Structure 1
């Protein structure tokens, strides 16, 4: 790594920051392997438990239900206790939860395990804070892109490796042994991570929020803005409950669903109180000291952009294989293989978005990528049986580049807003990504495929105009150490 020219040498293992990046993206990679470990085992699991298609869909919904609130919770924990402890505990817990799923003896046990596994999907948030601590502003976009892109590949790796591992074990319980194997790896890696990782480089301070439980804001107006931004997350959870109701897949009874709505309302009230408690002094005085201020508008715009980018990725990855099969008359295997190009772009596109942000500016990069994303989805809306298959695949991968580079651009900026709250800011943006997935998939259930793509394109245009109000990070931000000293952190 060269600090003078901003270049990143990913093979320089003598550099503590590069070693930290590698052990961190692999930790994230493992969480995604475990989180999506059920999908490639569908045939074995449905056969073992005689599961209907509706029940399998319920498992898929349960797998993501807890991820939205857990990203908020994990963001609070990582800011308070540090990424080293938080990631270690999450990996160990993930190993235990996946083992519970592997050893399940009934559909109810499977459902409970998948619901709890949603918490594992919040692992992404932890590394954002850790990588942000170890890399300067001129490198952080690329470093975060490598972390996010390579770690995200865990879902594809699970699809490629786990069926082969189950086949190697053989027998009707081969899938169980395969899941137990990766569970053990995650458990052991959690212990290794605790021994190998450090929250900050030697001599650096790990800044923590003054109070825990909610995001700090700088003005009363931003306090109400923050409360409003929390509403869509609870609305998305209500939609998930509705999908599990008798109106949806029928896993939950109507009284249970109604109770869930009440609980979500109470949780919103509780979270609002926690945010009030954290910001009580600010609300009484009307503002915070100048050196502690930041613009919550920045956070809100990044939330919207991740809603569009990652949310659309989640939705499109879910429907693209069937779209290719129906449009071009392909077998499920071939359609799945061609559609996988959308996810494979993560390996290069997400780091690419971070690198572009570092080199050409974060606001400018965001605007260009969102414009490309809008054009990409508009192009996908025009794909039909008359298109050459190769051209359709190329269009899909080009669109995917802008989607995932946009994700990289979002998290190239997240660590530069307010260091002590990076975990919470990343958690909120990450949660909005999942909210986007729920929203776009719900829309897809009511409209045609071309209309679905056009709606995402329209949302990209909204994100483009919102991004005009982003402020390019410049100069330094300030943080106050526990001894009261004010320290400057470079953000440009």
Structure 2
């Protein structure tokens, strides 16, 4: 059996571009950013889309649900594919094929075509899983939490940056003589083309591991794990810890998506803010991904050094519970000053919880990181779907009752009553969700690691354990 010292990075040196892990970190982060940018790229243009295609309120809401639903299945699949073919090829195909529905979205002519495109655009949300797998393969255990959290956080910025970026692209298109009503179409086409080009960049400028691509390693008779060490997907889904983290990620990333998508209207209805002011506040919430998620991974690594793998779990449980408390408190606040204060604390803790989650994921099963990441990542979208359905159902019932009870009192009175009812319904929904998040924080404490896991997977101080710097050979296909 041949052994080769691993080239995994033990530090996140952002400007060491000669380093393969660093170069991969930047390319995967930018690719993730572009996928999220394109995934939510249509959001700033929804009023134009509704007018252009004649979407009903139900069709508009269904387009949001379809985009989230498509991502669930894609994330479950892509993790297994990463374990088999490597993140490089998976990202290349996801970016190039995912560009097709993004471009097609700018060419649709009917509501049905739009809904179909939204479903398939959601598949590029699986980019998160590939990003986490690739950084997990590139960075050593002492810094993998920080690397995972930072790449994910910076990638998530794409979901907020499109609020500024897509209108700017539209404005640039209009300056070339395109009609305002058609600008959203050209903007989606451009976003799709950029995704396609990033797929080409990913193929030529990254590799699966610091030692080389999966295909080349196998051809040379080398492999990260021997054939007997390989584990099946069934082994991963039978591990209860995988499903606890599935629920945990639903309670952090899933809730962030839902709150991000409903907060504009809530701030307007509750605190009588203008749409512009509310939008800027929500944008600021999204921009906290620049540092907040990184903090979660950083402290996950720090607690790992102090208390081993159990320390990572303890921090995750604590920050998740704090996230729930912040959301519960925010939901009961009637002061705009206190509301913004607790919203900031919620956005900080929810993003830190996301980073802390993926400081634990690489240690659940080091031989099937992709499969575990895929299942956990899918949990985020399931959480978003369930939370959105809760808020939608509560809001619909409350608004309908308000309109019925104030019928005949004038349009202004009915509009005000509807706004107040929506605010109250969403507020109670946030309260329920926050309480569930706190319970999920308690559930996270059930994640356990064996003594062997602690010795093999958690390095002392800044050292990388011998078990993790060995590339085992004698692979037989």
User: TM-score interval w.r.t. the shorter chain?
Assistant: 0.7 to 0.9
Cα displacement (A) at 1:355? 0.3
- CA contact 1:324–1:339 (8 Å) conserved in 2: no
Alignment match, 1:41:
45
Cα displacement (A) at 1:213? 11
Alignment match, 2:108:
104
Please give the root-mean-square deviation of Cα atoms over the aligned residues, in Å: 2.6
* Change in CA separation of 1:18 and 1:430 when aligned onto 2, cut-off 3 Å: same
Alignment match, 1:328:
271
* Change in CA separation of 1:60 and 1:208 when aligned onto 2, cut-off 3 Å: farther
Cα displacement (A) at 1:105? 2.2
- CA contact 1:76–1:424 (8 Å) conserved in 2: yes
1:210-229 residue pairs with structure 2 within 5 A?
Answer: 215-217=233-235, 226=238
Cα separation, 2, equivalents of 1:408 and 1:60? 25
Cα separation, 1, equivalents of 2:256 and 2:456? 33
Cα displacement (A) at 1:313? 0.8
Alignment match, 1:352:
295
Q: Among residues 192, 196, 199, which one is paired with 2:205 in the alignment? A: 196
- CA contact 1:166–1:178 (8 Å) conserved in 2: yes
- CA contact 1:33–1:157 (8 Å) conserved in 2: yes
* Change in CA separation of 1:395 and 1:420 when aligned onto 2, cut-off 3 Å: same
Cα displacement (A) at 1:207? 4.6
Cα separation, 1, equivalents of 2:201 and 2:9? 32
Cα displacement (A) at 1:211? 11
Q: Structure 1 length as normaliser, TM-score?
A: 0.77
Alignment match, 1:400:
347
* Change in CA separation of 1:437 and 1:216 when aligned onto 2, cut-off 3 Å: same
Alignment match, 2:358:
411
- CA contact 2:362–2:369 (8 Å) conserved in 1: yes
Cα separation, 1, equivalents of 2:117 and 2:139? 36
**1:463 is aligned to 2:469:** no
* Change in CA separation of 1:36 and 1:211 when aligned onto 2, cut-off 3 Å: farther
Alignment match, 2:284:
341
1:135-214 residue pairs with structure 2 within 5 A?
Answer: 135-170=139-174, 171=179, 172-202=181-211, 205-207=223-225
Q: Structure 2 length as normaliser, TM-score?
A: 0.79
Which stretch of the first structure deviates more once superposed, 6-15 or 188-197?
Answer: 6-15
Alignment match, 2:398:
none
Cα displacement (A) at 1:139? 0.4
- CA contact 2:74–2:123 (8 Å) conserved in 1: yes
- CA contact 2:231–2:368 (8 Å) conserved in 1: no
Cα separation, 2, equivalents of 1:454 and 1:53? 26
Cα offsets for 1:440-481 (capped at 9, x unmatched): 112223442332222222222222222222235522257995
Alignment match, 2:249:
306
**1:383 is aligned to 2:309:** no
Cα separation, 2, equivalents of 1:212 and 1:66? 29
* Change in CA separation of 1:210 and 1:194 when aligned onto 2, cut-off 3 Å: farther
- CA contact 1:339–1:393 (8 Å) conserved in 2: no
- CA contact 1:200–1:206 (8 Å) conserved in 2: no
Q: Which has the higher contact order (CA 8 A, sep 6+)?
A: 2
Q: Among residues 50, 54, 59, which one is paired with 1:50 in the alignment? A: 54
1:251-330 residue pairs with structure 2 within 5 A?
Answer: 296-330=239-273
Cα displacement (A) at 1:324? 0.8
* Change in CA separation of 1:209 and 1:162 when aligned onto 2, cut-off 3 Å: farther
- CA contact 2:128–2:152 (8 Å) conserved in 1: yes
Alignment match, 1:441:
388
Cα separation, 1, equivalents of 2:9 and 2:116? 50
Cα separation, 2, equivalents of 1:87 and 1:4? 20
Cα separation, 1, equivalents of 2:202 and 2:125? 18
* Change in CA separation of 1:103 and 1:450 when aligned onto 2, cut-off 3 Å: closer
Alignment match, 2:422:
none
SS at 2:360 equivalent: helix
SS at 1:141 equivalent: helix
- CA contact 1:84–1:197 (8 Å) conserved in 2: yes
Aligned length: 405
Cα displacement (A) at 1:4? 12
Gaps of 5+ in 1: 227-295, 486-492
- CA contact 1:376–1:395 (8 Å) conserved in 2: yes
Cα displacement (A) at 1:303? 1.2
Cα separation, 2, equivalents of 1:340 and 1:179? 20
